[in-house]
């Protein structure tokens, strides 16, 4: 007991020292006052936290990979091979980085749809929604720019197709493509651009936007279900954000960490359609592999563009598709401003649109892999 | 009318016939009274017609005349040559370097000279033997093809059948007292397998060893030179080996003694050694006063050790590959081992046990490296699994502890 007392004394003194300078008590009190609604769909509240956790994993493993990765047409592939074959636990770091990237995008997508279908984007959360959409876009750009970095055959040809699609954007497409590629073709210069984007530009913007997103959530609190609008205060159940929700969040993070560890160790190169074997080094003069597929989260768009005829109403098919996706994306982004219903009402047309989007993404993705 | 004419012209061009042939009275008449396999019918596939030559270029006469009697009166008309006349008949153009330059400059013009040196030519001109092959026996008449044309009797895939027309016919060959099993034997050989099963048209067939126009069976002393045209390293090693002198003294054919001539089987490691089926025991025994059996035994042992080391490395590496480990470097290393194995097997032709053993040792060392690295990769695989197991247990304990903590906190906060 005496020992424990010493520890407690040391801890108490340390806490007091920090508290005096940084007013930790105020923060704990603030978080302790915050309440999280408890109801049948509370499980969905953890999706944002899961996304955050996976992003943290991305940052940590990404920094570790950065220690050995060397961008460039003559060194990128070789350095990734070195990481996987020679660096202690290099294979595990690359595997975790790839798995958590895929899981993060999945979690972000689920988080977004949950927010959409529970109307959690409504006033006063318009900016939270917009920053969330921004984060999703950045996450997709992370995925796209990271895919090329190993400079292997699959990455090379997928990037050529992906950047080629950007070239179909009206007016600015050609310039966008040249800026992305660092020239007319996918070359060593493209690796340099994607590397800069992946490890400096995107993380910088992402961190600022993520901080804003988290501050908004902290200031606004968790959104309450539509059905609660008419309930009396006594009929609503809450739990404290700190420590109850934080501890549960931690529990979920541990479970996700374990899932991540199992996946990373058992399937270091991914599995099925979520697959990132290093394979052969990119050779711009080699014929493209028989099947060039984008990553699964781009598959629906890729498949939809493939299905379009060569021309739709005098517009080139691919361009028509891109315009349609642009309009759809804009509607989706502006949802908080289109939904004018009261807090206790459901927006039926928008929900129908939402279900259409979900069905479209699922159908196109499945078709993309089966056809 | 114009349309019909164009159609005929296109049809004739498709057949590869020069348009002037349409006005060729020789072909018009012969076509009517000859069978389907007569010269005028078969000639559409003939390389001469395809190069723009007509009947009169070989047989003389005048193709504008329609009376055969008148044709025979034309100066230079030669009609059908006799069996003995055929070589000179063809050589009129084929030995004329200036003429051939206009038609096929790549073709040699010394076929007749070579033919005269061959057994066929010697018997035809020396003994007036009507059964020996002349040009048309091998090249056919009026369906003569370039050796590159698949239908040609001189295309590599057809040569064995062409030579076999006579050489596989026991009755026809009876008076010459030479074997007639060559084609059958050849068809079982590693060379025929490469040609017919592997589709490698550069694989040797009859004329590659025997020559074509100067057809001659390789003699005992020239045999290693014939095989050595392709198997140069083996021939070189053999020429530096103790077998060279021994074979010469005993008048043994060089390569044939161990590998046979036409029925050359795919060489195996079992061909070397101190026990049957090794071919060494055909000449050597333990008490023959030579080092033959001891050397054979040592060579066989060295190759066997290398093969065993290679197979073990291969199996361990496969296990590592199946476990999903990164094995690119080891796969390259194993290719090196295979390369050394090929070199070791080639060194057998030196019949020097020390040099074979030294090469095999080099391969075994490389194989050992692959083995130990593969074992390390397999160990790494198990280490990863154990690590995952421990991590999972640790995380599970944390999850349980956290769950208990949450229950306690909930009890404290919300029980009231």
**What pLDDT, on the 0 to 100 scale, is given for residue A93?**
95
Give the rounded percent of residues in chain B with a pLDDT score beyond 70: 94
- Lowest-pLDDT choice from A29-38, A193-202, B192-201, B386-395: A29-38
Q: Mean pLDDT over residues B350-378, rounded?
A: 97
Contact A261 B392 (CB under 8 A): yes
Chain A nearest-CA residue for B327: A85
Rounded CA gap, A157 and B65, in Å? 69
Give the H or E element holding residue B138.
helix B135-139
**What pLDDT, on the 0 to 100 scale, is given for residue A351?**
93
**What pLDDT, on the 0 to 100 scale, is given for residue B61?**
87
Decide if pLDDT at A224 tops 90: no
**Residue pair B255/B190 in contact by the 8 Å Cβ criterion:** no
Q: Does B411 touch chain A (CB under 8 A)?
A: no
**What pLDDT, on the 0 to 100 scale, is given for residue B183?**
95
How crowded is the C-beta side of A244, counted as CA atoms within 13 Å? 19
Q: pLDDT tens across A133-164, in order?
A: 999 999 999 999 999 999 999 899 999 988 98
Query: How close is the nearest chain A Cα to the Cα of B416, in Å?
Result: 13
**Residue pair B274/B300 in contact by the 8 Å Cβ criterion:** yes
**What pLDDT, on the 0 to 100 scale, is given for residue B102?**
86
Q: Mean pLDDT over residues A24-50, rounded?
A: 89
Query: How would residue B224 be classed by pLDDT, with cut points 50, 70 and 90?
Result: confident
**What pLDDT, on the 0 to 100 scale, is given for residue B45?**
85
Nearest to B399 among A85, A243, A251 (CB): A251
Reported for A25-34, long-range contacts at CB under 8 A and 24+ positions apart, including other chains, are: A28/A242, A31/A241, A31/A242, A31/A246, A32/A240, A32/A241, A32/A242, A34/A218, A34/A221, A34/A240, A34/A241, A34/A242
**What pLDDT, on the 0 to 100 scale, is given for residue B416?**
58
Average pLDDT of chain A to the nearest whole number: 91
Q: Which of B25, B16, B19, B21 is CA-nearest to residue B6?
A: B19
User: What is the 8-class DSSP label of residue A290?
Assistant: S
Decide if pLDDT at A3 tops 60: no
Decide if pLDDT at B221 tops 60: yes
**What pLDDT, on the 0 to 100 scale, is given for residue B23?**
65
**What pLDDT, on the 0 to 100 scale, is given for residue B9?**
47
Contacts with B387 from chain A: Cβ below 8 Å: 265
CA torsion, points B21, B26, B28, B32, in degrees to nearest 10? -140
- Chain B, 49 to 78: residues with Cβ < 8 Å from chain A are none
Contact B324 A268 (CB under 8 A): yes
Angstrom CA distances, B409 to A12, A36, A237, A245, B412, stand at: 21, 15, 17, 11, 5
The alpha-carbon radius of gyration of chain A (Å, integer) is 24
Longest CA span, chain B:
135
Rounded CA gap, B397 and B116, in Å? 96
Average pLDDT of chain B to the nearest whole number: 89
Q: pLDDT tens across A265-299, in order?
A: 999 989 988 989 888 899 989 888 887 788 999 99
Instruction: Kindly report the pTM of this predicted structure.
Output: 0.69
Q: Residue A301 region, left (φ>0) first, then alpha (ψ -120 to 50), else beta? A: alpha
**What pLDDT, on the 0 to 100 scale, is given for residue A319?**
85
Rounded CA gap, A71 and A78, in Å? 10
**What pLDDT, on the 0 to 100 scale, is given for residue B84?**
93
Burial A190-215 (b: 16+ CB within 10 A, else e): bbebbbebbbeebbeebeebbebbee
Contacts across the A-B interface (CB distance below 8 Å): 52
**What pLDDT, on the 0 to 100 scale, is given for residue B38?**
84
Q: Does A265 touch chain B (CB under 8 A)?
A: yes
Tell me the three state secondary structure of residue B147.
coil
Q: Mean pLDDT over residues A62-85, rounded?
A: 95
**What pLDDT, on the 0 to 100 scale, is given for residue B10?**
47
Decide if pLDDT at B14 tops 80: no
Q: Mean pLDDT over residues A1-27, rounded?
A: 79
Nearest to A258 among B324, B392, B405 (CB): B392
Nearest to A261 among B329, B388, B402 (CB): B388
**What pLDDT, on the 0 to 100 scale, is given for residue A51?**
97
Decide if pLDDT at B41 tops 90: no
Q: Does B395 touch chain A (CB under 8 A)?
A: yes
**What pLDDT, on the 0 to 100 scale, is given for residue B7?**
52
Decide if pLDDT at A106 tops 60: yes
Query: How would residue B401 be classed by pLDDT, with cut points 50, 70 and 90?
Result: very high
Q: Which residue has the higher pLDDT, A230 or B182?
A: B182
Decide if pLDDT at B138 tops 50: yes
ipTM, 2 dp: 0.77
Helices marked H in chain A — which ranges?
A: 2-22, 24-33, 46-66, 76-85, 90-117, 126-148, 153-166, 173-181, 188-196, 202-220, 246-266, 296-307, 317-333, 335-338, 348-370
| B99: CB partners within 8 A, 6+ apart | B93
Query: How would residue A248 be classed by pLDDT, with cut points 50, 70 and 90?
Result: very high
Rounded CA gap, B268 and B407, in Å? 75
Question: From the candidates A250, A278, A281, which should be mutated to test the interface with B, based on the most B CB atoms within 10 A?
Answer: A250
Give the H or E element holding residue A239.
strand A238-240
Q: Does A255 touch chain B (CB under 8 A)?
A: yes
**What pLDDT, on the 0 to 100 scale, is given for residue B370?**
98
Contact B414 A84 (CB under 8 A): no
- CA B206 to chain CA mean position, Å: 11
Rounded CA gap, B344 and B356, in Å? 6
**What pLDDT, on the 0 to 100 scale, is given for residue B4?**
52
**Residue pair A71/A149 in contact by the 8 Å Cβ criterion:** yes
- Chain B, 303 to 332: residues with Cβ < 8 Å from chain A are 324, 326, 328-329
Q: Does B412 touch chain A (CB under 8 A)?
A: no
Decide if pLDDT at B8 tops 60: no
Contacts with B396 from chain A: Cβ below 8 Å: 258
Q: Does B389 touch chain A (CB under 8 A)?
A: no
**What pLDDT, on the 0 to 100 scale, is given for residue A277?**
87
Query: How would residue A7 be classed by pLDDT, with cut points 50, 70 and 90?
Result: low
Q: Mean pLDDT over residues B226-238, rounded?
A: 93
**What pLDDT, on the 0 to 100 scale, is given for residue B13?**
46
Query: How would residue B21 be classed by pLDDT, with cut points 50, 70 and 90?
Result: very low
Nearest to B395 among A239, A240, A258 (CB): A258
Rounded CA gap, A43 and A77, in Å? 41
């Amino acid at each position: 007991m005496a020992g424990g007392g010493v520890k407690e004394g040391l801890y108490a003194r340390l806490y007091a020292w920090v508290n005096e300078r940084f007013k930790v008590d105020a923060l704990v009190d603030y978080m302790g006052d915050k309440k999280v609604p408890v109801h049948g769909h509370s499980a969905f509240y953890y999706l944002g936290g899961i996304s955050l956790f996976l992003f943290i994993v991305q940052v940590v493993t990404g920094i570790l990979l950065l220690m050995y990765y060397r961008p460039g047409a003559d060194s990128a592939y070789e350095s990734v091979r070195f990481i996987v074959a020679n660096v202690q636990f290099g294979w595990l770091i690359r595997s975790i980085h790839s798995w958590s990237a895929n899981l993060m995008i999945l979690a972000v997508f689920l988080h977004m749809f949950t927010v959409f279908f529970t109307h959690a984007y409504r006033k006063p959360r318009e900016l939270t929604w917009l920053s969330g959409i921004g984060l999703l876009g950045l996450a997709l750009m992370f995925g796209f720019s990271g895919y090329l970095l190993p400079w292997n055959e699959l990455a090379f040809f997928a990037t050529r197709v992906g950047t080629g699609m950007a070239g179909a954007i009206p007016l600015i497409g050609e310039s966008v493509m040249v800026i992305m590629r660092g020239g007319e073709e996918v070359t060593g210069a493209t690796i340099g651009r994607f590397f800069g984007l992946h490890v400096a530009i995107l993380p910088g913007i992402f961190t600022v936007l993520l901080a804003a997103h988290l501050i908004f959530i902290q200031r606004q609190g968790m959104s309450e279900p539509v059905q609660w609008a008419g309930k009396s205060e006594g009929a609503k159940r809450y739990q404290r954000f700190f420590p109850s929700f934080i501890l549960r969040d931690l529990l979920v993070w541990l479970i996700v960490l374990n899932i991540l560890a199992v996946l990373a160790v058992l399937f270091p190169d991914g599995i099925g359609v979520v697959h990132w074997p290093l394979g052969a080094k990119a050779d711009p003069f080699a014929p493209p592999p028989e099947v060039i597929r984008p990553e699964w989260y781009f598959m629906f768009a890729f498949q939809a563009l493939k299905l379009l005829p060569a021309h739709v109403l005098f517009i080139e098919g691919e361009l028509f598709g891109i315009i349609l996706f642009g309009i759809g994306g804009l509607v989706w982004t502006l949802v908080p401003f289109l939904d004018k219903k009261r807090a206790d009402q459901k927006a039926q047309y928008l929900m129908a649109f939402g279900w259409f989007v979900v069905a479209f993404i699922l159908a196109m993705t499945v078709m993309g892999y089966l056809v | 009318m114009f349309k019909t004419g164009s159609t005929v012209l296109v049809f004739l061009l498709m057949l590869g016939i020069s348009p002037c042939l349409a006005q060729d009275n020789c072909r018009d008449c012969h076509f009517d009274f000859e069978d389907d396999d007569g010269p005028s019918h078969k000639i559409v596939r003939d390389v001469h017609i395809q190069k723009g030559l007509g009947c009169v270029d070989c047989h003389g006469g005048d193709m504008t005349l329609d009376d055969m009697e008148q044709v025979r009166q034309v100066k230079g008309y030669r009609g059908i040559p006799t069996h003995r006349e055929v070589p000179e008949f063809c050589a009129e153009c084929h030995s004329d370097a200036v003429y051939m330059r206009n038609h096929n400059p790549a073709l040699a013009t010394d076929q007749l000279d070579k033919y005269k040196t061959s057994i066929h030519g010697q018997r035809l001109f020396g003994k007036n033997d009507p059964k020996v092959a002349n040009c048309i026996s091998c090249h056919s008449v009026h369906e003569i093809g370039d050796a590159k044309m698949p239908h040609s009797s001189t295309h590599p895939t057809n040569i064995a059948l062409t030579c076999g027309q006579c050489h596989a016919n026991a009755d026809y060959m009876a008076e010459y007292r030479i074997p007639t099993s060559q084609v059958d034997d050849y068809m079982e050989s590693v060379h025929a397998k490469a040609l017919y099963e592997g589709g490698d048209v550069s694989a040797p067939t009859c004329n590659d060893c025997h020559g074509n126009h100067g057809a001659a069976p390789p003699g005992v002393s020239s045999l290693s030179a014939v095989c050595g045209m392709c198997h140069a390293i083996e021939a070189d090693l053999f020429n530096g080996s103790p077998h060279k002198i021994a074979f010469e003294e005993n008048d043994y054919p060089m390569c044939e003694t161990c590998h046979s001539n036409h029925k050359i089987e795919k060489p195996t490691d079992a061909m070397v050694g101190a026990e049957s089926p090794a071919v060494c025991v055909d000449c050597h025994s333990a008490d023959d006063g030579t080092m033959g059996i001891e050397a054979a035994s040592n060579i066989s042992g060295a190759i066997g050790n290398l093969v065993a080391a290679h197979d073990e490395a291969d199996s361990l590496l496969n296990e590592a590959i199946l476990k999903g480990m990164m094995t690119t470097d080891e796969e390259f290393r194993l290719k090196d081992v295979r390369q050394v194995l090929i070199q070791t097997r080639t060194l057998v032709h030196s019949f020097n046990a020390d040099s074979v053993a030294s090469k095999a040792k080099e391969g075994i060392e490389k194989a050992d490296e692959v083995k130990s690295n593969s074992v390390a990769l397999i160990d790494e695989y198990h280490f990863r699994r154990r690590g995952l197991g421990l991590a999972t247990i640790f995380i599970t304990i944390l999850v349980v502890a956290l769950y208990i903590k949450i229950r306690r906190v909930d009890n404290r906060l919300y029980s009231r």
